[in-house]
Amino acid sequence: MGMTIAEKILAAKAGKDSVKPGELIMARIDVALANDVTAPLAIKAFEDVGAEDVFDRERIALVPDHFTPNKDIKAAQQAKMVREFAYKYWIKWYFEVGRVGIEHALLPEQGIVVPGDLVIGADSHTCTYGALGAFATGVGSTDLGCAMATGEVWLKVPYTLRFNIEGKKRPYVTGKDIILHIIGMIGVDGARYRAMEFGGSVIRELCMDERFTICNMAIEAGGKTGIIEPDDITKEYVKERAQREPVYYTSDEDASYEKVYDVDISNLEPVVALPHLPENVKPVREVNDIEIDQVVIGSCTNGRITDLRQAAEVLKGRKVHPRVRLIVIPATQKIWEQAMEEGLFKIFVEAGAAISCPTCGPCLGGHMGILAEGERAVATTNRNFVGRMGHPKSEVYLASPYVAAASAVAGRIAHPDEL
Amino acid sequence: MEIRGKAWKFGDHIDTDVIIPARYLNTSDPYELAAHCMEDADPEFVKKVSKGDIIVAGENFGCGSSREHAPIAIKYAGVSCVIAKSFARIFYRNAINTGLPIIEAPDAVDRIEEGDEIEVFLEEGKIINHTKKEEYSFEPLPEFMMKLLTSGGLIPFVRERLAKKGA
């Protein structure tokens, strides 16, 4: 019996010839990641197990991206604790404000995660790296703290769901629309405990940035990871970046899937996910009378250069609606620099947008754009739970950068065609 | 460990932002976190809940973020156990790792009403509803996870592993 890419990576890391879904394994990890919110508890766990040193200072990434630049004194204390730990153990991948970016954009960009890796991160969107052909999954701080000491983690081998994405993309349909469509189709627990393997001709033609967006939101369907078999596009992306030798795994022809979904996107239009679950997915044209107060373009889901280019394409020569605040957050310093050099910032500023330094900021209601009671935002982020971006009576609508930009101009949820 | 208390009922897809909103994640102090437990679902929850009480919820409890602050907030609010139809996977791990008992028991969830007096026997896979005089059964945790839970979470387990390696 063949294996899926997810099973092959897990088998390799558990030192076995093969693994089966449901099996509990103890596996070696390639990278362990935490941020300024989850690292403090992980550090406590690390100390509580009585570890004398980290398992490998070159395989730990501590990325203070959530509440940085420090939003208040308590956040500053937490960031300080992470910094001191990083210096004490000579952690190689620690990033200070001015160099830091949003973790799930930063690690692939810097080649810290490479294809074939097993990555655990104390952040649920760790599944993003599956776009590289790695097995990456979110864990809690105790798991992470223990892994920093031992270099291993216990995992249950997940069943894999295969999604074949076929058809011809319509204008303004992006990776974001595809993953929202899938979440709408299977629900927020439709892939609970499962690996979601994305393939098909549409995926093969997507750039890495849009592949990251798709794998990033696997967790929003309850998935343990999202994963895409590496191809030439992956190899091209990895070539100049990889800090270690990548290993390219693919699924066997006779691999066993729990379920195979054939998804034809030929009729898919740009969509939004309505409050308060990412599964409440509707075509933009059905909800384009909803007025909004704020638009956020950024996050680990859609803060990459492709996303900013798409937003700029819509905003060029246009103005943000007088009643709307548009906040653009490039996900890393490199993306920031690139956007500046490409002239995207001029487009944003002339349209009347604010440009932030890299931070998770408003996505999780941290800072840099919190919503008041009754306010509505269109965001390229990943969750629209109650109170996610601020007041418990505020609302978040999830969309692509195209739709977010068009909505900022229209002052309501809008399809770019309507402008 | 004795698990007995009043049931507090919640619906499906109770997410981690509802369990502990991110605006309070600028601290890791368990009691500060507990003071805001379930705040965006029921602002009065922490005032009403008594030590030993049990959260009874629907599908996919704990979906969303990986924040371990969620099971910590629940545990330090005095809740002794969460019974749900199903759990999101990271929350499930985090609960076991931090020693918060969790039980998947869809039938029990359907029968239990808010305020019922509930007692849970983890190893026997048995729930007694003292108010309704009913008994429900559930699949006990796999041995490995039960061991983690009863030994107080992942930390004692790893401490032992490290000590063995060092020896």
Cis amide leading into A69 (omega within 30): yes
Whole-prediction pTM value?
0.97
**Distances, alpha carbon A149 to alpha carbons A41, A155, A212, B144, in Å:** 14, 17, 29, 20
Instruction: Report the C-alpha gap between B123 and A244 in whole angstroms.
Output: 46
Write phi, then psi, for A351 (nearest 5 degrees). Answer: -75, -15
Residue A268 lies in a domain: no
Query: Taking the alpha carbons of A312, A314, A319, A323 in that order, is the dihedral positive or negative?
Result: negative
Yes or no: say if A378 and A394 are a contact pair by the CB < 8 Å rule. no
pLDDT digits (tens, 9 = 90+) for A217-234: 999 999 999 999 999 999
Asked whether residue A240 falls in the same domain as residue A307, the answer is no
Tell me, yes or no, if A372 comes closer than 8 A to chain B by beta carbon.
no
Residue A140 lies in a domain: yes
Does position A52 have pLDDT exceeding 60, yes or no?
A: yes
* Beta carbons of B28 and A277 less than 8 Å apart: no
Tell me, yes or no, if A180 comes closer than 8 A to chain B by beta carbon.
no
Asked whether residue A198 falls in the same domain as residue A286, the answer is no
Asked whether residue A255 falls in the same domain as residue A315, the answer is no
Region A66-73: what's the mean pLDDT? 98
β-strand pairing of B134-137 with B126-129: antiparallel
User: For chain B, how long is the longest CA-to-CA vector?
Assistant: 54
Question: What angle separates helix B89-97 from helix B154-166, to the nearest 10 degrees?
Answer: 70
- Structure token digits, residue B35: 């003071």
Among A243, A262, A281, residue at a domain's last position: A262
Instruction: Report the C-alpha gap between B37 and B70 in whole angstroms.
Output: 8
Please name every residue paired with A93 in a beta bridge, in sequence order, or none if there are none. Answer: A61
- Structure token digits, residue B85: 């139809």
**Tens digit of each residue's pLDDT, chain B (167 residues):** 789 999 999 999 999 999 999 999 999 999 999 999 999 999 999 999 999 999 999 999 999 999 999 999 999 999 999 999 999 999 999 999 999 999 999 999 999 999 999 999 999 999 999 999 999 999 998 888 888 888 888 999 899 888 887 65
Asked whether residue A188 falls in the same domain as residue A277, the answer is no
Instruction: Report the C-alpha gap between A348 and A352 in whole angstroms.
Output: 6
Contacts of B159 (CB under 8 A, 6+ apart): A48, A49, A50
Residue A267 lies in a domain: no
Please report where in the chains the tokens 């995207």 appear, as a residue.
A344
Residue A176 lies in a domain: yes
Tell me, yes or no, if B36 comes closer than 8 A to chain A by beta carbon.
no
Tell me, yes or no, if A277 comes closer than 8 A to chain B by beta carbon.
yes
pLDDT digits (tens, 9 = 90+) for A17-45: 999 999 999 999 999 999 999 999 999 99
Confidence of residue A182 (pLDDT cuts 50, 70, 90): very high
Instruction: Report the C-alpha gap between A402 and A307 in whole angstroms.
Output: 8
Does position A287 have pLDDT exceeding 70, yes or no?
A: yes
Q: Which residue of B has its CA nearest to A138?
A: B66
Yes or no: say if A44 and A55 are a contact pair by the CB < 8 Å rule. no
Asked whether residue A136 falls in the same domain as residue A240, the answer is yes
B86 → closest Cβ in A121, A146, A192: A192
Instruction: Report the C-alpha gap between A129 and A137 in whole angstroms.
Output: 9
Instruction: Report the C-alpha gap between B99 and B130 in whole angstroms.
Output: 25
Asked whether residue A27 falls in the same domain as residue A126, the answer is yes
Tell me, yes or no, if B1 comes closer than 8 A to chain A by beta carbon.
no
pLDDT digits (tens, 9 = 90+) for A319-339: 999 999 999 999 999 999 999
Does position A11 have pLDDT exceeding 70, yes or no?
A: yes
Instruction: Report the C-alpha gap between A83 and A400 in whole angstroms.
Output: 34
Contacts of A175 (CB under 8 A, 6+ apart): A206, A209, A210, A211, A212, A213, A214
In chain A, which residues have their Cβ closer than 8 Å to the Cβ of B22?
37, 364-366, 388
Distance from CA of B74 to the nearest CA of A (A): 15
pLDDT digits (tens, 9 = 90+) for A101-160: 999 999 999 999 999 999 999 999 999 999 999 999 999 999 999 999 999 999 999 999
Interface test with A, best of B36, B59, B66 (most A CBs within 10 A): B66
Please name every residue paired with A152 in a beta bridge, in sequence order, or none if there are none. Answer: A28
Asked whether residue A132 falls in the same domain as residue A162, the answer is yes
Composition of chain B by helix, strand, coil, percent to 5: 35, 20, 45
Confidence of residue A385 (pLDDT cuts 50, 70, 90): very high
Residue A229 lies in a domain: yes
Yes or no: say if A148 and A323 are a contact pair by the CB < 8 Å rule. no
What pLDDT does B164 receive? Answer: 81
Asked whether residue A32 falls in the same domain as residue A69, the answer is yes
Contacts of A219 (CB under 8 A, 6+ apart): A124, A125, A127, A138, B64, B90
β-strand pairing of B117-121 with A395-398: unpaired
Among A262, A296, A322, residue at a domain's last position: A262
Number of domains forming the structure of chain A: 2
**CATH code at A413?**
3.30.499.10
Residue A141 lies in a domain: yes
Which residue range is the domain that position A85 belongs to?
Answer: 5-262
Asked whether residue A206 falls in the same domain as residue A342, the answer is no
Task: Count Cα atoms within 13 angstroms, Cβ side, for B154.
Answer: 26
Yes or no: say if A184 and A280 are a contact pair by the CB < 8 Å rule. yes
Instruction: Report the C-alpha gap between A160 and A191 in whole angstroms.
Output: 9
What pLDDT does B150 receive? Answer: 82
What pLDDT does A183 receive? Answer: 98
Region A171-187: what's the mean pLDDT? 98
**Distances, alpha carbon B32 to alpha carbons A133, B67, B152, in Å:** 40, 15, 21
Asked whether residue A56 falls in the same domain as residue A177, the answer is yes
Contacts of A303 (CB under 8 A, 6+ apart): A102, A105, A297, A329, A330, A331, A332, A335, A358, A380
What pLDDT does B148 receive? Answer: 87
Asked whether residue A193 falls in the same domain as residue A295, the answer is no
Instruction: Return mean pLDDT, chain A.
Output: 98
In chain B, which residues have their Cβ closer than 8 Å to the Cβ of A224?
89
Asked whether residue A303 falls in the same domain as residue A251, the answer is no
Among A195, A228, A262, residue at a domain's last position: A262
Yes or no: say if A301 and A176 are a contact pair by the CB < 8 Å rule. yes
Could you report how far apart the first and last alpha carbons of chain B are, in Å?
32
* Beta carbons of A143 and B163 less than 8 Å apart: no
What pLDDT does B166 receive? Answer: 67
Instruction: Report the C-alpha gap between B79 and B50 in whole angstroms.
Output: 8
Confidence of residue A1 (pLDDT cuts 50, 70, 90): confident
Instruction: Report the C-alpha gap between A396 and A390 in whole angstroms.
Output: 10
Please state, for a pLDDT cut of 70, what percent of chain A lies above it.
100
Q: Which residue of B has its CA nearest to A390?
A: B23
Q: How many CB atoms lie within 10 A of CB A4?
A: 27
Given the cut 0.90, state whether the ipTM is greater than it. yes
Tell me, yes or no, if A53 comes closer than 8 A to chain B by beta carbon.
no
